[in-house]
Structure 1
């Protein structure tokens, strides 16, 4: 290779396919650049600008040009995004351990504080009322302040609320603590979806949503187990304080470590940023730098109504298994209380696994087909159809154990639809994601209240016959399916951005 070294570097002859006048500067080898080594000399990198017209010819791409050895070293993506998902799953688990702790300690608290039945009901239900009503405002707050600040503050807030419950000396203080906990926990999932949408490519959002959903269920199960183990040695006050401490620790560590934007996190390299951005749709990229849509644009969005109403009916029907299934097995199938409760846990564990499988499957379909209609919409519709078939089979099976296993298989398939719904909000939310997810989750909680309230009234109205309640259960699945049918999961809600026809 011809060339003479001078202060400006080494000139590379034209026979090497470099533009005349390009230079090679002595510097440290860095990932993502072209490096060469001449003999036993130091590693040098080719610093060539696009304006010089540099291009890799086949000869250069082969790696050997004269005595110039060229290596294109590609950095491996860091994995900070997975730590972010893990942090959110831990937060969800802590939140569900804390919110469900009251149920396991209810009888002990009632006896010590002398709660009336009305006060007992208020302590349980006002959490869910404030939780549902604050979904949209908390989503809006997360959009304005950023999820880092918002989630850290509310995690500390809901833990302090549990500590207030632990210190309660009157029913009023206990009820106020539960009400405050609902207010604070309302923002956890709007914040989480904002974070996942910013930190994950769309081909990993279904899996992340499934992990988040499973963490809620696991947290609820752990709350029951830990309460059973610890309430005797610690008492209910000590138990609540023990459950509050991890939330405060998590809030502090999250505030110190997390960043709203992956590009601002010191642990994220450029290769991971490329992975996060690679699969975003054109509409999503445009929406990310656009101001949030006007409220009127959201209110007149047909897609938003479809997302919210499918959640109302789908989430409402879901409450049959965690609220009334054990009672149904006792009253409708004639099982004793102990065996009924054992069988009633099977659909819940099936749901934990089903949600994970559904999330992974949704992302796999998106990678394979590139179509959100297939990966999100079609999978959700198919899961609702198949679960209805299995529920129908369970209804006509006379053996209660076999019927429960069949219903559990149905619930396993049903839970494929949950990560699809969460992922659709992340795919379509744009700058309004916090509000959109908050609206969906609010309607889901209202649906849960609707079914939990109406089911016993129907059963009592028909003399203990569970058939009307089961018909309501099936009908809510059908209506949820109907609202999935017209939903186009492409584009961004409230934005005037052309939608893909896939």
Structure 2
């Protein structure tokens, strides 16, 4: 480390790499969706077979969150995140060599295996590289990459397919992640003490601002399933499940809703469907910064800040129910933009809390557990919405049901979530003892 009175800013360069990893993550997810009509025709795949291929990613992605979190805590995020991006990028590039159902299915599973490590690793990086008062900001930054990737991916990929064909599009998309992985391995260190670019002022800023300091190789203080004994863990998992149920509407059913329920043409729909994601990206970064600013002022406790931003964000997200009754299409769009932005306000706190609450050496593991449960909401949400729309021939009941789950999420964070503080491992019955971590 070099000496300098002014703190260096290496941690923010790392935050930029975290953001880029998530953006690439989401871009690589949607390449198959954009190419699906061409691929299904070329390989004579029916709708059911294409559905199985597309779902293969989500199951491997959701089920491997917890193992990925364990690996990140045990061996460090440099190896885990870098290896994960390299893995899923190679799987993406190799999809251009697929020759039928079996190879497409296997490569899609491989994509989910690699991408499973992204969010748990980023949560662990935030706990090691950032002081507590910057944790929501960096959470907002890296998670906003998903909105950027989701918004720009479809038009970008469609343009590439028209320009160079679907096979070369997969190769080019995968190549971006391979380059990112090489940069990551060259630049990132698991701990700020190990990085030559971090001066003493930045290191002091990071370490003196952390209630609990983590380092490479810290052994987990609990087995992963012991986390389920704590009510705060249940609150984190259940709340994020309901949030993701709501969020996945915007990347699955929103285009259909705009065309069938609001009568938009495809060109208008493509533009409008990107609006909630792009707006949410900006709101998320601002919300993370604002919550950390309030925390630095020292007037509110961390618990009050986390709960306030969660509840305010979810109240915004409940606007999805009001959109169902909007007579004007543009009013409905405004309400949907507010709703999506609300989920990202909540997400800044959701992704900060693993670092706030996890026992030593278990931040990525707790983030993986939380994301496992939340992605089940992403899996069942589009299915339930589809059944409701099919049964009622309207999106109104589906949007109201989604808003109802948001109300449940608010109650969950208000009453099940207790004090936001590191888990006290010595408790024998932490689920019912109100004096301990809740």
Q: Normalised by the size of structure 1, how large is the TM-score?
A: 0.80
1:490–1:499 contact (8 Å) kept in structure 2: no
Give the alignment partner of residue 425 of structure 1, picking from 350, 354, 357: 354
What's the counterpart of residue 269 of structure 1? 199
Aligned to 1:480: 409
Residue aligned with 1:266, SS? coil
Partners of 1:337 and 1:164 in 2: how far apart?
A: 31
Query: Residue 171 of structure 1: CA displacement?
Result: 1.7
Find the residue that maps to 1:279 and give its secondary structure: coil
Secondary structure of residue in 1 paired with 2:258 = helix
Task: Name the CA shift for 1:273/1:395 in 2 (closer, same or farther; >3 Å).
Answer: same
Q: How does 1:374-413 map to 2 (within 5 A)?
A: 374-388=304-318, 390-413=319-342
Match of 1:351?
280
Identify the match of residue 237 of structure 2 among 308, 313, 325: 308
In structure 2, C-alpha distance between the alignment counterparts of 1:203 and 1:343, rounded to whole Å? 35
Alignment correspondent of 1:85: 15
Write the mapping of 1:246-257 to structure 2, written as runs, cut at 5 A. Answer: 246-257=176-187
Q: Name the structure 2 match of 1:132.
A: 62
Q: Deviations over 1:253-273 (max 9, x none)?
A: 211221101101111111111
- Cα–Cα, structure 1 residues 246 and 392, in superposed 2: closer, same or farther, change >3 Å? closer
Structure 2 equivalent of residue 330 of structure 1: 259
**Residues 313 and 341 in structure 2, CA contact (< 8 A), matched pair in contact too:** no
Distance 1:92 1:414, change over 3 A: closer
Segment of structure 1 superposing worse, 105-114 or 321-330: 321-330
| Residues 301, 494 of structure 1: 8 Å contact kept | no
SS at match of 1:415: helix
Deviates more, 1:470-479 or 1:223-232: 223-232
CA separation of 1:103/1:470 partners in 2, compared to 1, >3 Å: closer, same or farther?
same
Contact 1:231 1:239 in 2 (8 A): yes
Q: Aligned to 2:189, what secondary structure does the other structure show? A: coil
Alpha carbons of 1:424 and 1:489: their partners in 2 closer, same or farther (altered >3 Å)?
Answer: farther
Displacement, 1:354?
1.8
Q: TM-score, normalised by structure 2?
A: 0.91
Higher relative CO (Cα under 8 Å, sequence separation at least 6) belongs to 2
- 291 and 115 in structure 1: CA distance in 2 versus 1, 3 angstrom threshold: closer
Q: Does 1:119 align with 2:49?
A: yes
1:143-185 residue CA offsets vs partner (Å, 9 max, x unmatched)? 1211111112111111111122111122211111111110111
Q: Structure 2 stretches of 5 or more lacking a match?
A: 428-433
Whole-angstrom distance in 1 between the partners of 2:141 and 2:241 = 21
Q: Displacement of 1:191 after TM fit? A: 1.0
Q: Is the partner of 2:351 in helix, strand or coil?
A: helix
CA displacement, residues 411-446 of structure 1 (integer Å, 9 cap, x when unaligned) = 323421111110111221231111110011111110
**Total equivalences in the alignment:** 427
Q: Which runs of 5+ in 1 are unaligned?
A: 1-29, 32-73
* Correspondence 1:441 to 2:381: no
Q: Are 1:215 and 2:118 matched, yes or no?
A: no
The structure with the largest helix share of the pair is 2
Partner in structure 2 of residue 42 of structure 1 = none
Match of 1:431, SS state, is: coil
1:287 Cα deviation after fit: 10
Residues 193-234 of structure 1: CA deviation (Å, up to 9, x unaligned): 111110001111111111111111212233222212221231
- Deviation of 1:489 (Å): 4.6
Q: Deviations over 1:448-502 (max 9, x none)?
A: 111100111112112x032321221111101111211131353213634998999
Q: Which string of whole-angstrom CA distances, capped at 9 and with x for unpartnered residues, describes residues 19-50 of structure 1?
A: xxxxxxxxxxx95xxxxxxxxxxxxxxxxxxx
Cα gap change, 1:285/1:261 in structure 2, threshold over 3 Å: closer, same or farther?
closer
Give the aligned CA root-mean-square deviation in angstroms. Answer: 2.4
Pairs within 5 Å for 1:1-80: 75-80=5-10
Computing the radius of gyration over CA atoms, which structure comes out larger, 1 or 2?
A: 1
* SS of aligned partner of 1:84: helix
